[in-house]
Structures are given as C-alpha cells and as structure tokens.
C-alpha cells in the first residue's frame, strides 16, 4: 500500500503586532504663583508728648528769714539757732544763727519750692525755752513777720510756772480743768499787777487752716473775758490766736494720730509778755 501522505502542518498566521501607543507627556502648564504684594511701610505717626505744665517757682519763697525775738518785752535774740526741716521726712534743709540784730536767713532749694510743702522750724537758745513751728510754704512769710518768738526761762520760779501754763478746751469750750487754771492765773495777776501776759490760742492740724485760726482767736478771747470777770485789768492781758502753727506733738498735717493726740493741741498758752512800769 502506498504510504499515506503526511498531513500538512497547519499554517500559523502570526498575529499582527499592535504597537502600543506611547503615552505622550501632557504639556506642562505653569500655574501663576501669586506673589504677595510688596510691603509698604506705614508712616509712623509720632504723637506729641504732652509736657507737664511748668511750675512758676517765683510764686514760692526762695529763702526763709526773719527776726527772732523774746516773748518778754519783744527784744531781739542774738545767737538763736534756727533749723528749717522737711516736716514729712525730717530732712534738714538748712541751719542758721541769728545775728546781733536778731536776723537770720536760710536758702530754700528748688526741690522744696512746691505746692503743699510743709516745714518744721526749730528755735534753740540757752536760757530760753526751745520752740518748734509748723508752717506751709505759703505761710513762711507770715511766720517770719511775727511768729519767731522764744520764751525766756525766768529766774523766778513763779514766772516760769505761769509762762508755761496751758489751758485746755474742747469744742470751743474751756474745760473744767481749764477754768481752775484760769483761776490760778487770775490770782497771780491780781497779786502782781505789773505782769502782762499773752493768751495764745492754738488748735490741732485738722480741718480748714483759716477756720482754725479763727477758732484759736475766739478761744483766747474767751479766756481773756473770764479773767476780766475775776477783776484782772484788760491792760494785763493780750489775747492772740495762732491756729495750727504751733503743734506740740507729732500730729502735723499728713501724720497719723489718734483723737487724744489731736485734742492735746487744743490749748490756750499763757506767756509772760512784759512788766508794767
């Protein structure tokens, strides 16, 4: 038998090669970048600084001076030591000594030439009772005009006792104790008709200054009126009010004190003024 013819190999048709499309890069789109607006410096406004009003120092005294006299006969005192100090801090501002004419002068630095400035004036002299005076800067001229007095220490014990007496009062009324003291004063003056006294009224450093001055004068006159009813001649009595100028303790303006300490300054002082011929 004839050999069978071999089967033909199947025709393999190659698949067409599909070329993959190459992805094209997308065009780069530049996004505009928002740039910050340039900084514009704001103008600096300088507000004017309000200056404190300048104080005219001319309204305040640049010095303190006067004549120191004795409460007895009003004679001038030579060699009296005078000290001017700040009443609040106690700092000494200046010192001086009175001359043969009783005069002295202390310069006041500009630091202390201001509204509300309070001073303490001290007077010291051998054979005289020391003295302290409180005064506002606007009162210095008034003090210098007639308040720089010192009381001598008398050789007669009775005169010293009389010249140091204080008569208390409360609410513009002399106290019971005060009337007892006035009776003693009246008895002495009737026995010594040549002695002339001053009745110096004082108040505490509270309230209105001018009102205090008026109160002190009225109280001195009340004491005078009482002595007159006892037969003391008017020529032997001189009433005078000083207000809060002569504070006898620490209770000056600006100082903290209790009621009793304040009331201690309400008094009428007896001062031997002179002798009648």
Residue 186 shares a structural domain with residue 201: yes
Q: At what angle do helices 176-191 and 209-229 cross, to 10 degrees?
A: 50
- The answer to the question of residue 42 being in a domain is no
Range 241-254 average pLDDT: 86
pLDDT digits (tens, 9 = 90+) for 198-214: 999 999 999 999 999 99
Q: What integer pLDDT is reported at residue 62 of this predicted model?
A: 94
Range 250-273 average pLDDT: 89
**Residue 133 pLDDT greater than 80, yes or no:** yes
**Residue 167 pLDDT greater than 90, yes or no:** yes
pLDDT digits (tens, 9 = 90+) for 232-247: 999 999 999 999 988 8
Sequence-ordered list of residues with C-beta below 8 angstroms from that of 230, at least 6 positions apart, any chain: 182, 183, 186, 190
Q: What integer pLDDT is reported at residue 17 of this predicted model?
A: 58
**Helix/strand/coil for 57:** helix
Sequence-ordered list of residues with C-beta below 8 angstroms from that of 243, at least 6 positions apart, any chain: 202, 203, 209, 210, 212, 213, 215, 216
Number of domains in the chain: 2
Range 111-130 average pLDDT: 93
Q: What integer pLDDT is reported at residue 48 of this predicted model?
A: 72
Residue 207 shares a structural domain with residue 130: no
Q: What integer pLDDT is reported at residue 72 of this predicted model?
A: 83
Q: What is the CATH number for 137?
A: 2.60.40.10
More confident residue, 109 or 277: 109
- The answer to the question of residue 3 being in a domain is no
Q: What integer pLDDT is reported at residue 73 of this predicted model?
A: 78
If you compute the radius of gyration of the chain from its CA atoms, what whole number of angstroms results? 49
**Residue 21 pLDDT greater than 60, yes or no:** no
pLDDT digits (tens, 9 = 90+) for 222-234: 999 999 999 999 9
- The answer to the question of residue 24 being in a domain is no
Q: What integer pLDDT is reported at residue 178 of this predicted model?
A: 95
Q: What integer pLDDT is reported at residue 193 of this predicted model?
A: 92
Residue 184 shares a structural domain with residue 273: yes
Q: What integer pLDDT is reported at residue 256 of this predicted model?
A: 86
3-state per-residue secondary structure call for 142-184: HHHHHCCEECECCCCHHHHHHHCCEEEEECCEECHHHHHHHHH
**Residue 264 pLDDT greater than 80, yes or no:** yes
For the chain, count helices (H), then strands (E).
5, 13
- The answer to the question of residue 13 being in a domain is no
**Residue 1 pLDDT greater than 60, yes or no:** no
More confident residue, 33 or 217: 217
Range 171-181 average pLDDT: 94
Sequence-ordered list of residues with C-beta below 8 angstroms from that of 178, at least 6 positions apart, any chain: 167, 168, 169, 223, 268
Q: What integer pLDDT is reported at residue 188 of this predicted model?
A: 93
Provide the residue range defining the domain that includes 159.
154-277
Residue 226 shares a structural domain with residue 269: yes
Residue 100 shares a structural domain with residue 212: no
The CA distance from 216 to 268, in Å, is 8
- The answer to the question of residue 130 being in a domain is yes
The CA distance from 14 to 272, in Å, is 155
Range 11-33 average pLDDT: 62
Last residue within a domain, chosen from 109, 125, 153:
153
54 falls in which pLDDT band (50, 70, 90)?
Answer: confident
CB 186 within 8 A of CB 232: yes
Q: What integer pLDDT is reported at residue 147 of this predicted model?
A: 78
- The answer to the question of residue 6 being in a domain is no
Flag the least confident range among 20-29, 37-46, 55-64, 165-174. Answer: 20-29
**Residue 5 pLDDT greater than 70, yes or no:** no
Which pTM was predicted?
Answer: 0.62
The CA distance from 225 to 98, in Å, is 37
Last residue within a domain, chosen from 116, 138, 153:
153
């Amino acid at each position: 038998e004839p050999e069978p013819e071999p089967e033909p190999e199947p025709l393999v048709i190659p698949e067409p090669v599909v070329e993959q499309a190459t992805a094209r890069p997308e065009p780069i789109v530049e996004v505009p970048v928002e740039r910050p607006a340039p900084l514009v410096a704001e103008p600096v406004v300088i507000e004017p600084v309000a200056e404190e009003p300048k104080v005219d120092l001319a309204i305040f005294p640049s010095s303190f001076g006067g004549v120191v006299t004795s409460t007895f006969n009003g004679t001038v005192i030579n060699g009296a030591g005078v000290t001017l100090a700040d009443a609040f801090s106690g700092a000494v501002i200046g010192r001086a000594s009175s001359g043969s004419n009783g005069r002295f002068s202390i310069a006041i630095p500009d630091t202390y030439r201001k509204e509300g400035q309070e001073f303490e004036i001290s007077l010291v002299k051998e054979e005289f009772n020391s003295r302290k005076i409180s005064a506002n800067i606007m009162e210095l001229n008034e003090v210098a005009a007639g308040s720089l007095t010192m009381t001598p220490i008398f050789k007669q014990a009775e005169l010293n006792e009389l010249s140091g007496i204080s008569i208390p009062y409360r609410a513009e009324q002399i106290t019971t104790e005060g009337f007892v003291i006035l009776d003693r004063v009246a008895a002495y003056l009737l026995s010594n008709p040549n002695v002339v006294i001053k009745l110096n009224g004082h108040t505490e450093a509270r309230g209105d200054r001018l009102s205090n001055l008026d109160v002190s004068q009225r109280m001195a006159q009340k004491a005078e009126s009482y002595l007159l009813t006892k037969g003391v001649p008017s020529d032997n009595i001189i009433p005078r009010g000083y207000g809060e100028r002569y504070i006898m303790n620490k209770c000056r303006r600006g100082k903290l004190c209790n009621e009793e300490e304040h009331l201690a300054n309400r008094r009428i002082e007896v001062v031997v003024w002179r002798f009648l011929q």
